[in-house]
Chain A
Amino acid sequence: MLRRVSATVSLLAAAALALAGCTPADPAGGKTIKVAYQKTDSFTALDTMFQDAKKEFEAAHQGVTVELQPIQANDDDYGTKLALALRSPATAPDVFYEDTFKVRSDVDAGYLLNLDSRLAAWKDWDKFDAGAKEAGKADDGGTYAVPLGTDTRAIWYNKKVFEAAGIALPWRPATWQDILDTARKIKASNPTVIPFNMYAGKGTGEGTVMQGFYELLYGTGAGLYDQDAKKWVVGSAGFKDSLTFLQTLYQENLAVPPADALDPNVWKKVFGDWFPKAQLGATVEGSYTPSFWQKGGSYEWPAYAQDMGVAPFPTRNGGAPGAVSMSGGWTLAVGAETKQPDLAFTFLTTALNAKNSLQFTVASSQIAVRTDVAADPGYQSANPFVKDVSSLVSVTRYRPATSDYPRISAAVQEATEAVITGKRTPEQAAADYDTAVAGIVGGDKTVRK
C-alpha cells in the first residue's frame, strides 16, 4: 500500500520537475532579444527585414541572440495576439511591430517604453519625416514608437474600362458628382462591369472606413473627433451626406451587390479578379495596391503598370484642399518591461537603418518615412505610382486613435451596412450612430456639429 502511495508521489514530483523544466532559462549568461512581428503568405517583406537586421546585429553584438517570433495572422488577429502577449511580462516581446492606431491605447496600458532620451541620441532620427513622427506620440507628448512606413488612399481605376466607356484619360474627378457621372456613364456603356465600388458594411472591417467612408466624411468638412475638445462629433450633416452618397452608389448598382460588399473576402476579388479581368471600373484603395500585382505579390499581374491609373479622392464640391486621403501605417516599439532596453533599442535602430528601411519600403509598396529613403532612386522607381500616392501625404489624415476608437469604427461600419442593405435611410442610420456613440463614450464626450 505504502509503496503504491510513494510511487504516486514520486510520479507527481517527476511531473512537477518536467513542468519546471519548461521554463526557459537564459542560455549560459547570453542575452536574448525577442522580436514579435507579423508575417503572412503575401507579406514577407518584414520577415526579410528582420532576418537581415538579426544577422547585422548579432555580428556587431557578440553573445546577444535575437529571437525572431513571426506571428502568422491577418492585421486584426495579429493585434489580438500581440495584445495578449503584452499582458504578461513573461511573454512580452522586447521589440515589436505595432499598428499606429494602437500606439495610444497601448501606451495607456503601459506596454510601451518611452523612447525620448534614446531617440535624442540617435543621429538618424532627424531623417524621419515630421508628420510621420506624430504617429509614434502618445497623449503625454512623448514618443513611444518609431514609424516604419505609412500609406495613403486614392482612387484606383482600370484604364481599359474607362476607355471603353469613352471617358477621357487621365481621369481626375473634382467633385462627388463627377464620380457619379462617370460611374453612370460606365454603367450605360457596359452594364456587366462594376463601375465604382466603395467598401461598406462590417465584412470589410477597417477597410470600410479607411478606404471608403472617411474619404467621404472628411471631404464634407465634417469630422469624426474634435481633437481640441477631445469629444466625438455627432449629428453632422456631413455624416448623413456621406451615407447618402453610399446609398446612391449601391442603389443604382454602381457598386457591387450588398451581398458581395458584406463578404469579408471581397477585397481579394477586387485585386485578384475584377481589376485584372477589367470587370471593375474603379475603387478606393491604399497606396500599397501595387504590392499585390508586382512580381512576387499574391495576384501577379504584370500589365497593371499600363492598365491601371490613380486619382486623388475629391472633396464633396471640390473645396480646398481638393483631395482627401487617409493614412495608417506601422511602427516598431520597445516593450516597457524589457530587461535590456538599450540592446532592444539598438536592435530597433539596426532594423530601421537606411539600407533595411529602403528594402522594406520598396518590397511592401510603403510610403517612405525617412527622407533619405524617399530620395533614393530605387524607391522612386519601385512602381509607376509612387509619386502620385506619395504626394497625397500633404492632404492625408490619421484616425483618432483613442481606446474607444475600435467601437466607434464598428458603429460607423454598422451605419454603412444598414444603408447599403436598404434597412435604414441615411437619416435613420446617422441617428442610430449618434445613439451608439453616446452609449460608447458617454453623452458628455460627444459634441453636436
Chain B
Amino acid sequence: MARHHQRRQLARYLPVLPAILLLAVFLAGPVLWAFQASLTNAGLTGRHARNPEWVGLENYQRLLQDPVFPLSLALTVLFVGGSAVLGQNVLGLALAVLLRRARPAVSAVVGTAVVAAWVLPEIVAAFAAYAFFSRDGTLNQLLGGMGLAEVDWLYAVPMLAVIMANVWRGTAFSMLVYRAALGGVPAELTEAAHMDGAGAWQRLVFITLPVIRGSIATNLMLVTLQTLAVFTLIWVMTAGGPANGSSTLPVMAYQEAFKFGDIGYGTAVASVLILIGAVFGAAYLRLLREQKP
C-alpha cells in the first residue's frame, strides 16, 4: 500500500519533468557554464579562445583588485535601490492607491500612460529615454522653454538619468501588481477602521499594507531581480560612461567579455551578479514564507 502510494507520488512529478528538464538545460546550464568559464582564461579571440586554461580563482582575485569593480558594485546597488526598491515600488503603490480614488476617466488616462512605457520593447524605450535626456533632447527643450538652465543629463548626472528612465519604464509593473492586490483587501476591514476613526493615512499603514504584505514581497523580489539584469537601457543611454560613471555590473560584464574579448573575466563579473541576485531572491523568499502561518 505504502509503495503504491510512493509510486503514485512519483508519477505525479512526471508531467513537470519536461519543464524541469527545460529549466535545467536553459537556466541552470548557462549559470553553471558561466561559473566554469569564470575559472578559466577563455577569450573571444587569441590563443585562449579554443583552448582555455584553468586558472582557478585568478579572475576573482583580479576582480577584487580592479578599481572599477567596487564602483560598479556601488552603482548597481544605487541603481537597484533607487529605481526598483524606491522608485518603481513606491511610485507603483502610490499610483495604485491614488487611481482607486480617482475618477474613471483620469484613472484610465493615467493608467494607459504608465502602461505604455511598459509595453514598449526595451530597445525602443531605451531610445525614447535617450532622446528625452540627451543634450538637445525633449527635457532640455522643456526646461529651456520655461527659462530654466539646461543640464547635460547623460553627462553630468548619468545615474540620475538612467534611474529616472528605469522608473518610467518599470513602474507599470508594480502598479498593476498593487492594483490587483488592493482589489483583494476586504472592504469591511477598511470600513471598520474608518468607523473607529482611522484617517486615510492610518488606514493605509495599519490595514492595507499589512494585508497586501505578500504582494509587496513578491513585487519587490520581481522588480529587484529584473532591475539587477537591466542592460539595454543603460547601454543605449550612456554605454556605462562617462568615465564608468554609470557602468553597473551587467555593463561591466559585457564590456569585459565582448569589448575586450576576456570571456573568463567577464563571466566572473556575471557570476558575482548571479550571486547577488540569489541573495536577494533568498531574502525575499524568506520574507514570503514568514508571513504564512
Contact = CB atoms under 8 A, between A and B. Distances in A.
Contact of B49 (A12, A109, A418): A109
Interface in B29-52: 43-50
Contacts of B54: none
A26 interface: no
A80 B14 contact: no
Given A87-B49, A263-B135, A403 B43 contact: yes
A102 B45 contact: yes
A259 B44 contact: no
B24 to A, nearest CB: 14
Interface in A75-124: 76, 80, 83-84, 86-87, 102, 105-106, 108-111
B49 A262 contact: no
B18 interface: yes
Residue of B43, B46, B260 with highest tally of chain A CB at under 10 A? B46
A144 B259 CA distance: 23
A329 interface: no
Sorting the interface of chain A by its residue count into under 10, 10 to 19, 20 to 34 or 35 or more gives 35 or more
A260 B43 CA distance: 33
A382 B45 CA distance: 37
B134 A8 contact: no
B49 A5 contact: no
Given A5-B14, A108-B46, A202 B241 contact: yes
Given A108-B46, A108-B47, A417-B243, A259 B14 contact: no
Contacts, number: 89
A83 B241 contact: no
Contact of A110 (B8, B50, B258, B260): B50
B44 A83 contact: yes
A235 interface: no
Contact of B45 (A111, A258, A423): A111
Interface string B14-27: 11011000000000
A111 B46 CA distance: 9
Contacts of B163: none
B44 A260 contact: no
Nearest to B22: A15
Sorting the interface of chain B by its residue count into under 10, 10 to 19, 20 to 34 or 35 or more gives 20 to 34
B18 A109 contact: no
A406 B50 contact: no
B280 interface: no
A410 B240 CA distance: 13
Given A8-B14, A15-B18, A203 B259 contact: no
Nearest to A402: B46
B154 interface: yes
B261 A203 contact: no
Contact of B242 (A87, A203, A407): A203
Nearest to B235: A264
B134 A76 contact: no
B11 interface: yes
A262 B242 contact: yes
20 contacts: A1-B8, A12-B17, A87-B50, A109-B43, A109-B46, A109-B50, A111-B49, A202-B243, A259-B135, A259-B155, A259-B156, A262-B242, A263-B135, A263-B155, A403-B47, A403-B261, A410-B259, A417-B242, A418-B243, A421-B243
- 5 nearest interchain CB pairs? A403-B46, A109-B49, A259-B155, A259-B152, A105-B46
Given A108-B46, A403-B43, 15 more contacts: A8-B14, A11-B18, A83-B261, A87-B50, A102-B45, A105-B46, A109-B45, A109-B50, A110-B49, A111-B45, A202-B239, A202-B242, A403-B261, A406-B261, A421-B243
